[in-house]
Chains A and B, each alone.
Chain A
Amino acid sequence: MMKNPYLPLPMKLVKNFTETEDKLIHTFTLQFLSEEDEKSFPYMPGQFAELCVFGKGEAPFGIASSPTEPGFLKFSVAKVGTVSTALHMLEEGSIVGVRGPLGNSYPVEQFKGKDVVIIGGGFAFTTLRSLATYMMHPDRRSDYGKITVIYGARNPGLLLYKDELAAWEASPDIDLITTVDREAEGWNGRVGFIPSVTGEVAPSASNAHAIICGPPVMIKFTMPVLEKLGFTPETTIMSLENRMKCGIGMCGRCNVGGKYVCKDGPVFTRAQLNELPNEY
C-alpha cells in the first residue's frame, strides 16, 4: 500500500496560549497520541505541516518547535481566516489533525562550522525559533560558530516567545538583538526597523550564512543591507509562504515559475530565487 499523503495524524491540543498583546497570535502545543505517531513524524527546522480543525478545513503553518523537543509540536498562528480562527477558539484537550512534515528544511548541515545570522520580522519568527532552538541544543551547539538573532516587531507586545527571548538574552550561546519600530514604555531594547538595525549590528559575512523571514517590505529593504555586508545570493536563505493547499506538489497553487513552494521549498537560497520569476 502506498502512503496516503492526505490523511492527517490526530493530535491533542494541550495548550492554547495567547502569544501577543493584541491577542491575534496564539501558540498551540500539540501532543502526539502515541510513540508510534511521533515516530511517523520526523521533521527538521524549516518544515511545515497542514494543520486541520476537523469540520473547518486545513491550512499550512510552519513548525515552531524543534526536533530536539520531543513529544509535541508547536505552531504559532495568526488569526486571518477560517482555519486559524477555528484554531484560536479551540479548547485545550481538543483533537486536531496534522499532516506532514512537508517541504524542505533549513540546510543545517551546510551551517556546520559557520556563523549563522537569523533575521526575523513580525510573526514569521516561527521556523526561525525552531532553527535557533535546534542549533543551541547542547549536543549541537559546538557544531556552529557564532549565532546571531535579530528579531523585530512593531511593538514589544507583538514579540513572540517572550520567556524564551529573556533566556536567550542571558545565554552565552546566542547573540540576541530585539528591536521594536517605535519607543514604547518599559522597553529598554533597541528601537528601529530591521534593515537599519541589521546595518548597525553588522554581523560578519565571512564564513557565515544569513536566514531571513518576514513581511515582503522588510525583506526588500534588508536585502541590500545584507549584500553590503558581503552576504552573497548563495549564503542568503529565505522561506516563502505562497498560498498552499495540498502541500505535495499536486494542487497547483503555490508555484513560483516551475517550482512548487510546498514540495521544492519553502526554503530557497537567494541564488535559487533569482532564477525564478517574482511570483511570491
Chain B
Amino acid sequence: MIVSKKDIPNLLDKMIAEYDVLAPVKKDNFTVFKPIASGADAVLGEGNTKLPAKELFFPQSEKLFSYSVTEEGAKLDAPMDDKKKVLFGVRPCDARSLKLLDNVFDNDKFQDPYYLTRRANTVMVGIGCNMPSSTCFCTSVNSGPFDTSGLDILLVDTGDAYVVELVTDKGKALADQAGLAAASDADKTAAAAAKEAAVVTCQVNTDGLKAKLDVNFYDPIWEKIHEKCLGCGACTYLCPTCHCFDIVDDAVDCAGCRVRNWDSCAFPLFTLHGSGHNPRTSNKERYRNRIMHKFKYFVDNFNEIGCVGCGRCIKNCPVNMDIRVVLENIRGSEARLDS
C-alpha cells in the first residue's frame, strides 16, 4: 500500500475521529509527541523527538490512584487510560525500546496495568530513517533504521509518498480502515532503494563486550570511565529504555493520591538506605550500574541489549559523555577477575 505525503493530514484527520492520535509536533526548536487535534499539526520529516516515546506509555509523572480514608477503611480509585490510540511517526529505535520495556513492566511475577493497558490499546505506526544522524548507532545494538520489531506498520519515505509495510494484524486492521491504494512495483522498488541508501555510518563494535562485562565489575577501568560525568541524570531521563521511578504521596489530610515520577540511578539518594548505608556510594558505582544494566543485566535477564542506539544520551550530555566511546574503552580494557 502507499499513501502520498499530501494525503497524510487527511488520513490523520480520519483517524482522529476514532483514535487519540499522537504525533510529533514542533515545540521551540525540537519536536515532541503530543495528541494532535488536526492532521496538519503532525511534523513528520524531522529526526527523532527530543523526549523518547516511552513517556506516552510511562509518563514522567503519573497518578497511580486517588484515595480517601475514613474510619472504616479506604476508598481507592485507580484510573486506567484505555483510550484507543495511534502513535504516528515513531522512529524504529523508539518503537523497539518499548518492546524492551515490555519485559520490565510485564515481568515473571508482576504486571504493571497502567503501562500495559496503554500498550495494548496503541497502534504503532513508524517511519523508517532515510537519513540516520551522526549519533545514531542502532545497527550496532540489534536494531536499524527500518527495524520493524516494535512496529505495527512501517512507512518508508520515497520522496512524495510513504510506502506502507504491514507488520502485524493490528497494523493491517488500521490500514484496512484507512482504505489505502496499492503500491505499484515501481513504488516498491523505490522503497527498497530508500532502505538501501540509508546508511548508519556510526558503528560500535560490541563483539565480546558482554563477556567483558561478565567479569570486569571490579576492574579499575570504572575509576576512569565515570570521571567526566556530573551525575545529572539527563541521559537517563532522555533514554527510551531507562525505567527507574519513585512513588510518592500527594495529599491534604485524608484525601490525596499516590503518584509515580521518573527517577534515576544517577542520583545518590536513589539507593540510600534508612541506616545511612549506601551500596552505590559514588558516581563510579552509579555510572557502572547504568552501563551494566543496559549491556549486561538486561542481556542476562531478557536476552536483549537494553539500548537501542538512539544517541539521545550522546546529544544531550552537558559534558559530552559518549556512550560509544565508553563501550569501546571497556571492550578494549584488560579483563580481570580479581577485585
**B245 x A54 contact (CB < 8 A):** no
Give Cα distance in the complex from A119 to B18, angstroms: 63
Q: Which of A5, A33, A56, A97 sits near B112, CB closer than 8 Å?
A: A5
**B67 x A54 contact (CB < 8 A):** yes
B267 to A: closest C-beta gap in Å = 10
Residues of B within 8 A of A280 (CB): 279
Residues of B within 8 A of A243 (CB): 270-274
Contact with A along B83-118 (1 / 0, CB 8 A): 000000000000000000000110111111100100
**A97 x B247 contact (CB < 8 A):** no
**B275 x A95 contact (CB < 8 A):** no
B299 to A: closest C-beta gap in Å = 9
Q: Is A195 an interface residue (CB 8 A)?
A: no
Give Cα distance in the complex from A95 to B69, angstroms: 7
**A4 x B256 contact (CB < 8 A):** no
Give Cα distance in the complex from A93 to B70, angstroms: 11
Q: Is A250 an interface residue (CB 8 A)?
A: yes
Q: With A54-B69, A58-B247 in contact, do A263 and B74 touch (Cβ < 8 Å)?
A: no
Contact with A along B250-278 (1 / 0, CB 8 A): 01111010101001010000111111010
**A250 x B110 contact (CB < 8 A):** yes
The chain B residue with its CB closest to the CB of A242 is B279
Give Cα distance in the complex from A255 to B110, angstroms: 16
Residues of A within 8 A of B218 (CB): 277
Q: Is B226 an interface residue (CB 8 A)?
A: no
Q: Is A216 an interface residue (CB 8 A)?
A: yes
**B274 x A80 contact (CB < 8 A):** yes
Most chain A CB atoms below 10 A, which of B71, B104, B105, B271:
B271
Q: Which of A3, A54, A255, A257 sits near B74, CB closer than 8 Å?
A: A54
**A93 x B71 contact (CB < 8 A):** yes
**A245 x B254 contact (CB < 8 A):** no
**A252 x B249 contact (CB < 8 A):** no
Residues of B within 8 A of A130 (CB): none
The chain B residue with its CB closest to the CB of A60 is B274
B116 to A: closest C-beta gap in Å = 7
Most chain A CB atoms below 10 A, which of B76, B105, B300:
B76
- CB under 8 Å from chain A, chain B span 275-302: 275, 277, 279-280, 285, 289, 292-293, 296-298, 300-301
**A81 x B274 contact (CB < 8 A):** yes
Q: Is A109 an interface residue (CB 8 A)?
A: no
Contact with B along A86-99 (1 / 0, CB 8 A): 00000001010100
**B244 x A7 contact (CB < 8 A):** no
How many residues belonging to A are interface residues under a CB distance threshold of 8 Å?
46
Q: With A95-B71, A250-B243, A258-B301 in contact, do A4 and B113 touch (Cβ < 8 Å)?
A: yes
Q: Is B73 an interface residue (CB 8 A)?
A: yes
Q: Is A117 an interface residue (CB 8 A)?
A: no
Q: Is A10 an interface residue (CB 8 A)?
A: yes
B313 to A: closest C-beta gap in Å = 16
Q: Is A55 an interface residue (CB 8 A)?
A: yes
B324 to A: closest C-beta gap in Å = 23
Q: With A54-B69, A54-B74, A95-B74 in contact, do A248 and B246 touch (Cβ < 8 Å)?
A: no
Residues of A within 8 A of B270 (CB): 243, 253
Contact with B along A235-248 (1 / 0, CB 8 A): 00000011101101
**A246 x B277 contact (CB < 8 A):** no
B243 to A: closest C-beta gap in Å = 6
**B248 x A57 contact (CB < 8 A):** yes
Q: Is B323 an interface residue (CB 8 A)?
A: no
Q: With A4-B113, A7-B65, A277-B217 in contact, do A84 and B274 touch (Cβ < 8 Å)?
A: yes
**A250 x B104 contact (CB < 8 A):** yes
Give Cα distance in the complex from A253 to B266, angstroms: 11
**A251 x B247 contact (CB < 8 A):** yes
Residues of B within 8 A of A107 (CB): none
Residues of A within 8 A of B253 (CB): 55
- CB under 8 Å from chain B, chain A span 171-190: none
Residues of B within 8 A of A54 (CB): 67, 69, 74, 249, 251, 254, 256
Give Cα distance in the complex from A215 to B277, angstroms: 10
Q: Is B229 an interface residue (CB 8 A)?
A: no
**Known contacts A10-B69, A80-B275; can you find 18 more A-B pairs with CB under 8 A?**
A4-B113, A6-B247, A55-B253, A58-B258, A78-B274, A95-B72, A216-B277, A243-B270, A245-B247, A246-B245, A248-B110, A249-B107, A252-B245, A253-B271, A254-B271, A257-B217, A258-B301, A277-B217
- A-B pairs, 4 with minimum CB distance: A258-B297, A252-B244, A55-B251, A10-B74
Question: What are 19 A-B pairs at a CB distance below 8 A?
Answer: A2-B113, A5-B112, A6-B247, A7-B78, A8-B76, A54-B67, A78-B274, A95-B74, A243-B270, A248-B109, A250-B112, A251-B246, A255-B289, A256-B279, A257-B217, A257-B297, A258-B300, A279-B280, A279-B285
* Residues in chain B within 8 A of chain A (CB atoms): 64-65, 67, 69-74, 76, 78, 104-105, 107-113, 116, 217-218, 243-249, 251-254, 256, 258, 260, 263, 265, 270-275, 277, 279-280, 285, 289, 292-293, 296-298, 300-301
* Residues in chain A within 8 A of chain B (CB atoms): 1-8, 10, 33, 52, 54-59, 78, 80-81, 84, 93, 95, 97, 215-216, 241-243, 245-246, 248-258, 263, 277, 279-280
